[in-house]
Chains A and B, each alone.
Chain A
Amino acid sequence: MAAKKKLDKNTIREVLRYIRRYRFLLVLSLLAAFVSAVLSLYIPILVGRAIDCAVGAGTVDMDSIIAYLVKIALCTALIALSQWTMTTFHNRITFQVIRDIRHEAFEKISTLPLSFIDSHSHGEIVSRVIADADAFGDGLLMGFSNLFTGVVTILGTLIFMLTIHPLITLVVVVLTPLSLFVASFIAKHTHDMFKKQSETRGELTAFINDVISGQNVVSAFGREDAMIEEFSEINDRLEKYALRATFFSSITNPSTRFVNNMVYAAVCLTGALTVLSGGMTVGGLTSFLSYANQYTKPFNEISGVITELQNALACAARVFDLIRQPGEPDDPENAVVLTDVAGDVTIDDVSFSYVPEKPLICHFNLHVRQGMRVAIVGPTGCGKTTLINLLMRFYDVNSGDISLDGQSVFAATRHSLRENIGMVLQDTWLLDGTVRDNIAMGRDATDEEIIAAAKAAHAHSFIKRLPEGYNTVIGEDKGGLSQGQRQLISIARIMLKVPPMLILDEATSSIDTRTEMKIQEAFARMMEGRTSFIVAHRLSTVRETDMILVMRDGSVVETGTHDELVEKGGFYASLWNSQFAV
């Protein structure tokens, strides 16, 4: 509990840091809220006084009435103006604070270590940047305006009431918190029902997700009826909990209203008796009754606002948690900028593991001379991509050193290292943009260069057939490209400007073998004189490399050329032979 309080405090401090930039706007909008709340309380008094001037036929003081009406008009104008100012400024503060928070969150994502991105659900991170930031903004907007106006209204009413009659004011002040008490009592007791409701909802959503995304399996096995039955069971349970949660939470409103009505009756009684004993006028009683109503209302709103604000803070905490994540460590001072890399790679006594308890690569040594082609093979999940993660510095080694042309990569800038390595991964990824953007990937390139790259990757012919050729917009969820076509585009990216070193990870796994054959020729040209690392399932594609690393369960078990390894009769030989087995 204490820890949670501290967390809240930190979050509030963090929120204030963002708001500070807009403190001028904030002061103005609070001022406007104050003006509008106080004047709104003043208008009923003016109306009352105006009405007091019209007691009966022939005695109406028209001049005074008109004077009051002018005052009312002035107040109305002022209130309208300050309401508008308040809302506009609140909007500006909220939307800009959200914008700033999102900006920082996104900035953080670009520098987060890959280990964080790989180990967290992307949907969850996205929802922090989008949904949580939104919910925070809504809460902030609602919270600030309602909370402040509510407090001003309560204080104002209290003062107006005290000026009329202190004793009856006491009745109101003592009784009103009852409604807060009732509200929190109900909230506490419905909490469990809400929890059950949201748990069951979650269960149902998970089930729906499962079944609908696997609908073809469901149909293939004729399990539709079984699924409907299972759905119905969860759905019925949800109905039960939802009914309870909805009903019991909707009791709050009538109950607090009942308490307010009781306050009203109490004021009416004590007020009327006071009038009888001559302590107050009838007009005073009327004002009192209307104030009693006004006084209780903000209390109900405030209890809502506080829940809203708590929720907003919880959302803010999740976004800030992302922003506070440590990024990739900065490049060392005086970091070397790698240029004109020849491609001589030395891996010296490297150890690495994703999780400390499970050592993966231990004391690994490897020397790759400039221009060598190194194949990495092994069964699924043997850690082939780990080597790539280390070479690209997506992950950093636990100990040991990797050097390029004798220069430790850890003393160089990440940018310059990555710029010198061209990478085609098994998981293709498309940028949300045109085909041209996807090949250029932020680099300057002429149309001719882009087309030449696409041709080299055998992607030109299908790109030409797309509705708008190179200007067709594609992306992760649009464009309707097949897996093979997507892979061709990622290959064209590399073909655009071939860096001194290459990493090809299962680069052609989704391309049919005839197209692959043609691409292999292009790859062969590309790899000429360049240090290359090739990960492949198909052993035929790695047969003619200069060195083969055979991996199994995370470590390199054999190294050598194809002929050496076949001759040796080890793990590689058994893999090689199995592809011809029946």
Chain B
Amino acid sequence: MKKLLPFLKPYIKECILGPLFKLLEASFELFVPLVVAAVIDEGIAYADKAVIWKMCGVLVLLGLIGMVCSITAQFFSAKAAVGFATRIRQALFAHIQTLSFGALDKIGTFTLITRLTSDVNQVQSGLNLTLRLLLRSPFVVFGAMIMAFTIDVPSALIFAVTIPILCVIVFGIMLVSMPLYKKVQAQLDKVLGATRESLTGSRFIRAFRMEEDAQETFDARNESLTALQRYVGRISALMNPITYIIINIAVIVLIHTGAIRVETGIITQGALVALYNYMSQILVELVKMANMIIQLTKAAACAKRIGDVLDTAPGQTFPDADATQDNNAPAVEFRHVSLRYGGAGDESLTDIDFSVPAGSTVGIIGGTGSGKSSLVSLIPRFYDATAGAVLVNGVNVQEYTADTLRGKIGYVLQKALLFHGTIRDNLRWGNPEASDEELLEAASLAQAGDIVAKKGLDHMIEQEGRNLSGGQRQRLTIARALVRKPEILIFDDSASALDLATDAALRRAIGQISYHPTVFIVSQRTSSLRHADQILVLDDGVLVGKGTHDELLASCEIYREIHQSQTGERSGKGGNS
């Protein structure tokens, strides 16, 4: 919560003026009974119509002033709340942009989205409510109590006893039921899980005839949700009757003592009526306060979640200026590099050592989870090596600014992600200054020339590229990487969505690029790598083979097995099928 206070600073004026006008409004409201009393005591008692007209005019005036104050208060609190939320959202988004991949993995994407959207909205309405009510309700409650004391101290003591008891009960029931509401939410998540499962697994559930099992699971979860809701419902259903009983007991006691005191002449009948009215007012405000506090706890929880993200250290720092690079050094060099992801027990990469001359092509192959993607993700510093050093042009990647390092690299991910916008917008990610000719050239290199020719550069791509097929998306992401004419080009298993013919054509085109980038190709297919200058074979994070296709066939057992499994060229026992 403290973390968010600075965002409120530009709105200090609004935060003071809002509640102030609200208090003004409440005070004017407190005048109303006095005016009515004047109507009765002066107007009716002396049959003075002029006074009655005048006082009713005052009532209208009070109403008018009250409305003006109230609207002014609403304006200031709305302005503060909306502005506060806007600033938080901006800061949160900007902060997320600075987080390293390690930090992002740890927090999780979905929760970041919730925090940026619904959590910030909760905080906004929380602040709005606070500015409007937080001062008002206690003001009325304690104001009423103080007024009672000015009328008659012994009767007012009944207030002094009742208010704490009411507070204890209202907040006690809230404290008991709030954790239960959390449980209800958790159980609802389980019902949601079962529903989602039945949709994503519809084919499997039907193929394995699990319809009845699924229904049973769902019904059981649904039933416990209902039971839990009813239990919480029973507890919170106590709130109204109990507060009602207490207030009315207080009223009975008040009238009884009051009557005795009227009998002895200490207070008047009018005073007794006033005391009774104040008691009713207190009940109304307490109920409002309880509702507000529920809202506020929610908002505070959301504020804490936002604060947590803002507190997360970026995880990586980049220097302000680049170190001088050595153009004669290898384009990329790994010196005894190891990588362990945050929170993971085992190393994902162990003691990787190799160097790549500029302009050559490197293939990386290995089994599922052998660390191929981890290896290439170290080059643009998506993650930092836990041991050893990664060098680009003879300089440790940690000594480059982010712009310089990532500007050298064109990276194509396995998951083909495009963004909402035209094809031109998406391709220009690679280079904001690229001309249409350059975009078309990159597209045709990426075998995406036909897509662009057919749809045009102005074709709108929907969110997540939904209106394109997987292969089309993949080719456009390749084009996007080529637009920047990178020194280093990395294909992280990105050809798997392409059919073999396109894959081959793509590799031919890359080989003919005039500026000769250094190319890394991660693949599961030996056929995609066989013409690489150097192939790295990974097994469980360890580099088990390094060499050309032919060398590896001769020397590396694992490479040979992989190759044979894909071509069927083997003499051993058993066929493929």
Closest to A222 in B: B406
Known: A254-B74, A512-B370. A56 touches B269 (CB 8 A): yes
Q: How many Å from the CB of A501 to the closest CB on chain B?
A: 12
Closest to B63 in A: A261
Contact of B577 with A269 in the complex, beta carbons under 8 Å: no
Per-residue CB proximity of A244-269 to B under 8 Å, as 1/0?
00110011011101100110111011
Residues from chain A with Cβ under 8 Å of B429 in the complex: 217, 221, 223
Q: Is the interface of B mostly helix, strand, loop or mixed?
A: helix
Closest to A269 in B: B56
- How many A residues touch B, CB cutoff 8 Å? 161
Interface residue B245 (Cβ < 8 Å from any Cβ of A): yes
Interface residue A381 (Cβ < 8 Å from any Cβ of B): yes
Interface residue B294 (Cβ < 8 Å from any Cβ of A): no
Residues from chain B with Cβ under 8 Å of A524 in the complex: 574-577
Interface residue A314 (Cβ < 8 Å from any Cβ of B): no
Residues from chain B with Cβ under 8 Å of A76 in the complex: 244-245, 248-249
Contact of A219 with B368 in the complex, beta carbons under 8 Å: no
Interface residue A95 (Cβ < 8 Å from any Cβ of B): yes
Closest to A129 in B: B195
Q: How many Å from the CB of A305 to the closest CB on chain B?
A: 16
Contact of A418 with B206 in the complex, beta carbons under 8 Å: yes
- What is the bound-complex CA distance between A87 and B39, given in angstroms? 41
Determine, out of B137-145, B167-175, B215-223, B445-453, the stretch whose residues face the partner at the interface.
B215-223
Interface residue A408 (Cβ < 8 Å from any Cβ of B): no
| Residue among B53, B124, B420 with most chain A CB within 10 A | B420
Known: A208-B113, A235-B90, A482-B369. A257 touches B66 (CB 8 A): yes
Contact of A212 among B94, B112, B213, B223 (CB under 8 A): B112
Interface residue B459 (Cβ < 8 Å from any Cβ of A): no
Q: Which of A74-98 contact B (CB under 8 A)?
A: 76-77, 79-81, 83-84, 87-88, 91-92, 95-96, 98
Contact of B575 with A538 in the complex, beta carbons under 8 Å: no
Residues from chain A with Cβ under 8 Å of B128 in the complex: 246
Q: How many Å from the CB of A422 to the closest CB on chain B?
A: 8
Contact of B101 with A54 in the complex, beta carbons under 8 Å: no
Contact of B577 with A212 in the complex, beta carbons under 8 Å: no
Residues from chain B with Cβ under 8 Å of A125 in the complex: 195, 199
Q: How many Å from the CB of A458 to the closest CB on chain B?
A: 12
Interface residue A520 (Cβ < 8 Å from any Cβ of B): yes
| Residue among B128, B192, B263 with most chain A CB within 10 A | B263
Q: How many Å from the CB of B558 to the closest CB on chain A?
A: 7
Contact of B208 with A441 in the complex, beta carbons under 8 Å: yes
Q: How many Å from the CB of B545 to the closest CB on chain A?
A: 13
Known: A106-B218, A272-B43. A512 touches B263 (CB 8 A): no
Contact of B66 with A91 in the complex, beta carbons under 8 Å: no
Contact of B407 with A222 in the complex, beta carbons under 8 Å: yes
Contact of A394 with B83 in the complex, beta carbons under 8 Å: no
- What is the bound-complex CA distance between A99 and B221, given in angstroms? 10
Known: A222-B403, A514-B561. A250 touches B44 (CB 8 A): no
Interface residue A373 (Cβ < 8 Å from any Cβ of B): yes
Interface residue B183 (Cβ < 8 Å from any Cβ of A): no
Residues from chain A with Cβ under 8 Å of B78 in the complex: 243, 246-247, 250
- What is the bound-complex CA distance between A381 and B417, given in angstroms? 19
Q: How many Å from the CB of B144 to the closest CB on chain A?
A: 16
Contact of A239 with B86 in the complex, beta carbons under 8 Å: yes
Q: Is the interface of A mostly helix, strand, loop or mixed?
A: helix
Interface residue A213 (Cβ < 8 Å from any Cβ of B): yes
| Residue among B207, B411, B420, B531 with most chain A CB within 10 A | B207
Q: Which of B252-290 contact A (CB under 8 A)?
A: 252, 255-256, 258-260, 262-265, 268-269, 272-273, 276
| Residue among B49, B209, B497 with most chain A CB within 10 A | B209
Interface residue A396 (Cβ < 8 Å from any Cβ of B): no
Per-residue CB proximity of B432-454 to A under 8 Å, as 1/0?
10000000000000000000000
- What is the bound-complex CA distance between A290 and B252, given in angstroms? 19
Interface residue B93 (Cβ < 8 Å from any Cβ of A): yes
Contact of B420 among A210, A215, A273, A425 (CB under 8 A): A210
Known: A282-B40, A418-B206, A582-B508. A514 touches B256 (CB 8 A): no
Closest to A525 in B: B574
Contact of A582 among B198, B507, B558 (CB under 8 A): B507
Determine, out of A1-9, A152-160, A350-358, A573-581, the stretch whose residues face the partner at the interface.
A573-581
Interface residue A543 (Cβ < 8 Å from any Cβ of B): yes
- What is the bound-complex CA distance between A112 and B124, given in angstroms? 41
Closest to A462 in B: B369
